[in-house]
Amino acid sequence: MAEEKKKKKSKKSEKDLEKDEVEKKQDFLQQFKIAYRSLENPRKFYLATLLPLVILGLLISLMPFILNAILPYPINFNLITFIIGGTVPIFLGVLYPFIKWKGRENDINGKIHFFITHLRVLAISDLSLKDIISILGGKKAYGALGEELKRISVLSTQWRMPLSKAFRFISARTPSKILKDFLDRFSQSLDSGVEHREFIEIEQEAVLQEYKTLYETSNENVVILNEVYVSMLIAIMFVMTLGIVLPIIMGTEDMNTFILISSFLLIISEGMLMYLLKAMMPVDEIWHVTGEKGEIEEKIQRIFRLSVVLTIFVVSLIIFGRYYLSIPILQMIPFEILFAIAITPLMIAGTAVFIEEQNISRKEKSFLGFLPALGSISTMRGGKINDSVYYLSEKDYGVLTKHVRDLYRRLRTRINDNDAWEWFGVDTGSNYIQRSSEMFREATYAAANPRNVARMIAENMRKIRDLRVKKLTIVNTSIALFGGITFGIAFAIYISLIIGRHLNTIVKDTGDPFAGLGENKINIGAILHYIDPNIYNYNFLIIFFVLVIHCLLLALTLRMMRGSHVLVTLIYFVPFVWVIAITSYIVELVFGGMLSTG
Distance CA 427, CA 304 (A): 19
Same domain (yes/no): 69, 118? yes
HSE of 470, CA atoms in CB hemisphere, 13 A: 16
- Amino acid letter, 58: L
Q: Is 183 part of any domain?
A: yes
Instruction: Give me the pLDDT at residue 575, please.
Output: 95
Q: What's the rounded mean pLDDT across residues 47-71?
A: 81
Instruction: Give me the pLDDT at residue 75, please.
Output: 63
Q: Of 167, 194, 221, which closes a domain?
A: 194
Q: Is 117 part of any domain?
A: yes
Instruction: Give me the pLDDT at residue 95, please.
Output: 85
Q: Is 19 part of any domain?
A: no
Same domain (yes/no): 490, 413? no
Average pLDDT, the chain: 84
**pLDDT exceeds 50 at position 66:** yes
Same domain (yes/no): 497, 552? yes
Q: Is 37 part of any domain?
A: yes
pLDDT tens per residue across span 195-217: 888 899 888 888 888 888 888 88
Check residues 520 and 117 and name the one with the higher pLDDT: 117
Same domain (yes/no): 171, 30? yes
Number of domains in the chain: 3
pLDDT tens per residue across span 492-518: 888 888 877 777 676 666 655 544 544
Same domain (yes/no): 179, 107? yes
Same domain (yes/no): 469, 456? no
Model's pTM, two decimal places? 0.85
Same domain (yes/no): 123, 250? no
Same domain (yes/no): 118, 139? yes
Q: Of 464, 488, 504, which closes a domain?
A: 464
**pLDDT exceeds 50 at position 478:** yes
**pLDDT exceeds 90 at position 57:** no
3-state secondary structure of 150: helix
Same domain (yes/no): 42, 155? yes
Q: Is 429 part of any domain?
A: yes
**pLDDT exceeds 90 at position 344:** yes
Same domain (yes/no): 37, 67? yes
Q: Is 325 part of any domain?
A: yes
Alpha carbon of 256 to those of 243, 253, 535, 544: distances in Å?
Answer: 8, 8, 8, 14
Same domain (yes/no): 173, 217? no
Enclosing domain of residue 413: 358-464
Task: Evaluate whether 163 touches 131 at the Cβ level (below 8 Å).
Answer: no
Q: Is 7 part of any domain?
A: no
Q: Is 116 part of any domain?
A: yes
Same domain (yes/no): 39, 176? yes
HSE of 68, CA atoms in CB hemisphere, 13 A: 10
Check residues 31 and 362 and name the one with the higher pLDDT: 362
Task: Evaluate whether 398 touches 366 at the Cβ level (below 8 Å).
Answer: yes
